[in-house]
Structure 1
Amino acid sequence: MKLTQLPTEFVQALPVLQTITQAGFEAYFVGGSVRDALLGKKIHDVDIATSAYPAEIKQIFRRTVDTGIQHGTVTVLQQDAAYEVTTFRTESTYQDFRRPDHVTFVRSLREDLKRRDFTINALALQHDGTIIDLFSGLTDLENKVICAVGDPDERFHEDALRMMRAVRFESQLGFTIASATEVAIKAHHQLLGKIAIERIHDEFVKLMLGQGRNNGLTSFIHTELYQQCPGFVSAAPALLAITDLAPTALTDERSVWLLLAQQLHLDNATVKPFLKQWKSANDLIRDVSMCLPILNQFLAHTTLTNWAYYQTGLSNLLIANQVAHLYGAGVDSNKLKARYQQLPIKQRSELAVNGGNLLQALNLQPGPQLGQVLAQLEQAVVAAELSNQTVALIAAAKKLIKA
């Protein structure tokens, strides 16, 4: 097979490929970028594999960075672009089920491709558009099948995260997992417990954001991968129930974890430790905690107050509303946006007075009382009970102090 028109990303990287081949070595575009090009999807990273050893690549190109030279990867800098160029290699045993104990550089493309995870990711692309397919990846791509390269038991023992990648690809690509590959995942699901939770976290989020979320999630449960994830040991029914919800796509990580919090009946006291188990970022924990009570109000068809809109912020409101829609609740997003825009202020910095104004106008000393007064003014303005005018706010502050 031959690509008659290379995607722009490949065309821009062609000088790197051609320079390597002109020096007498083989060089190919490989991996997910080739798969995505064939599927007509957006290409994110262009990876290049070559028969040239790292030291040889460094001789060929003037500007390079040793990004992972011990594993054969050198970054080649070309104008404003950077391309990772990795030497063909074979790998030893994987005692930690993630990284090889050591790698051996080889000159054979076949030896390099046969260590890759799935056949659809084991395709190589020549500079002229010719596809090199040594493991029936094109057939699996056409049939929309995710199949391990060679023996799936070996592939998952080499890198247990590949099992999560399988269910993630099932969701993202809308493919199905080959029977033998799925059987191997179920047989070795315990190995996922050897993998850093941060890596599992990333794969799981991608699964949940995929177009085929329900299929990927079903396989995640059926293969028992979920048993190796924090807070999921007895959560199979709750996770499976997600597949009965509206198939509306989720847009970002907050919506994923908010949905899970709802399914697992978490509240603000339990959602934080749950997300910490998953090594979630503090910003994510804060946002999900902020969204959860709003989601519950949407589900209860409760009208939100101005203060709820103000505290939560538009972005988080939209996330809570998005998840509510999965349950047949929520409001029209355009009306939600309009309501938010009608708030007298969107943040405290928009208040027509600040601590300095009040200290001067009221002859106060810095302290807790000042903060309390500002908070009361803020709430009154947000609730539209008080005009956001300096004179009015100072007058109201004087009354609050006397009270």
Structure 2
Amino acid sequence: MPTGIRHGTVTVMIHSHSVEVTTFRTDGSYLDHRHPEAVSFVGDLTSDLARRDFTMNAIALPPDGLIADPFGGVEDIEKGIIRCVGEPERRFEEDALRMFRALRFSARFGFAVEEKTLAAIYAKAPLAASVSAERVRDEVEKMLLTSRPQILLTAIEAGLLDRYLVRRKDEPVSELIRITAMPKKALPRWAALCAILERRGWIDSVQDFLTSLRLDGRTVRCCVDCCELLHTAPPRTTKEWKKLLNHYGVDTASCAAMCYDALIGGKSRDALRAVLKSGECFSVRHLAVTGDDLVELGLRGRELGEMLNFLLDYVMDYPENNRRELLLQLVRGTEEN
């Protein structure tokens, strides 16, 4: 099947399995710093490998079983080095996304970026503006989810994210290393990154920053609310956690708890987990009575809403009293007074 015939790629079906087969090729000019304008098919494996980004990705296994490694990729892997094939600046001029990939591979595998390759990232960083926001978002998230998310400091210092920052200061953002203490989950790590950048003055608006990177609406809302919460001290009591849960929801509360622990310190996550595990009421929908129950007692409109909020506040203080008959009795007594 001609799945990518323009680039010499076909898919061969072998029983129920598919195998992609691509002709050796060389690439033409990269006018948009992302895609070659044309490709030329060749019969030489080394010429094909020469167009790859990094030496560790320029290794092939021919049918004879002898590894083809014309650029020393195996040695670089053994030494833990990310090195461009050929001239680094040319590789990044061809495809600016490769600068992000170099740092991501460094964070993922714990490899060091070779000196000339790193210097070329700093030199060619302005080309990152040509990479789509969606691609940048994906690379940033992949870095965030590694064991070394602080690699983003290098990306920021080099200027790879200048398009999304309102300003870039010279001082290091050492707090990024604190993200390593967080679970490897995208939502809380995005929130922590935003909180750090906002605190440092590198972004003015969490919403604008995430929207420009094409993050989904749920992530944007949660991170905005989480960063707002981080401007205040963590909840200290069970009731304060319940109020936070009622106002922001479980997603944002959980995200904030993880950020509190990582960026400020403490045991917020444990405290929140205890509240959720208790099963105690923290929202109107968890009350043992409903709006319909109060309508039957004659309450309407604003009065009904105020009564539900009164009952919720009462049950937050006395969770054992979240029982239908007791709450209805409380409503009747309140109305009589």
TM over 0.5: yes
Which of the residues 143, 149, 165 maps onto 1:231? 165
Whether 2:113 is the aligned partner of 1:177: answer: yes
The residue aligned with 1:254 is 187
Kindly indicate whether the alpha-carbon contact (under 8 Å) linking 1:75 and 1:83 is maintained by their aligned counterparts in 2. Answer: yes
Whether 2:59 is the aligned partner of 1:123: answer: yes
**Percent sequence identity over matched residues?**
32
C-alpha separation in 1, matches of 2:305 and 2:89: 62
The residue aligned with 1:201 is 137
Whether 2:22 is the aligned partner of 1:89: answer: no
Deviates more, 1:137-146 or 1:368-377: 368-377
Provide the secondary structure at the position in 1 that maps to 2:161. helix
The structural deviation recorded for 1:80 is 7.0
Provide the secondary structure at the position in 2 that maps to 1:94. coil
Provide the secondary structure at the position in 2 that maps to 1:164. helix
Q: Give per-residue Cα distances to partners, 1:340-399, cap 9 Å, x unaligned.
A: 21242366544333444444x23567x666555545544543454683333344445567
C-alpha separation in 2, matches of 1:168 and 1:104: 30
The residue aligned with 1:158 is 94
The residue aligned with 1:292 is 227
The structural deviation recorded for 1:401 is 7.2
Kindly indicate whether the alpha-carbon contact (under 8 Å) linking 2:182 and 2:262 is maintained by their aligned counterparts in 1. Answer: no
CA RMSD of aligned residues (A): 3.5
Q: Which runs of 5+ in 1 are unaligned?
A: 1-57, 59-65
The residue aligned with 1:102 is 38
Distance 1:182 1:290, change over 3 A: same
Equivalences, count: 332
The structural deviation recorded for 1:161 is 0.9
C-alpha separation in 2, matches of 1:151 and 1:173: 23
Q: Give per-residue Cα distances to partners, 1:39-92, cap 9 Å, x unaligned.
A: xxxxxxxxxxxxxxxxxxx3xxxxxxx654434444566677665544433222
Provide the secondary structure at the position in 2 that maps to 1:255. helix
Distance 1:383 1:282, change over 3 A: farther
The residue aligned with 1:220 is 155
Distance 1:278 1:189, change over 3 A: same
Provide the secondary structure at the position in 2 that maps to 1:319. helix
C-alpha separation in 2, matches of 1:128 and 1:307: 67
Whether 2:324 is the aligned partner of 1:390: answer: yes
C-alpha separation in 1, matches of 2:326 and 2:3: 61
Kindly indicate whether the alpha-carbon contact (under 8 Å) linking 1:172 and 1:213 is maintained by their aligned counterparts in 2. Answer: no
Q: How does 1:1-400 map to 2 (within 5 A)?
A: 58=1, 67-74=3-10, 84-125=20-61, 130-214=66-150, 216-228=151-163, 230-231=164-165, 233-237=167-171, 240-243=173-176, 245=178, 247-248=180-181, 250-265=183-198, 270-297=205-232, 302-303=236-237, 304-314=240-250, 316-331=252-267, 333-345=269-281, 349-359=285-295, 361-362=296-297, 370=304, 373-384=307-318, 387-396=321-330
Q: Which AA in structure 2 matches 1:280?
A: L
C-alpha separation in 2, matches of 1:212 and 1:385: 43
C-alpha separation in 1, matches of 2:214 and 2:158: 23
The residue aligned with 1:8 is none
Q: Give per-residue Cα distances to partners, 1:183-204, cap 9 Å, x unaligned.
A: 2211111100111112112112
C-alpha separation in 2, matches of 1:358 and 1:102: 72
Provide the secondary structure at the position in 2 that maps to 1:123. coil
C-alpha separation in 1, matches of 2:274 and 2:304: 33
Q: Which AA in structure 2 matches 1:390?
A: R
The structural deviation recorded for 1:322 is 3.0
Distance 1:351 1:99, change over 3 A: farther
Q: Which runs of 5+ in 2 are unaligned?
A: none
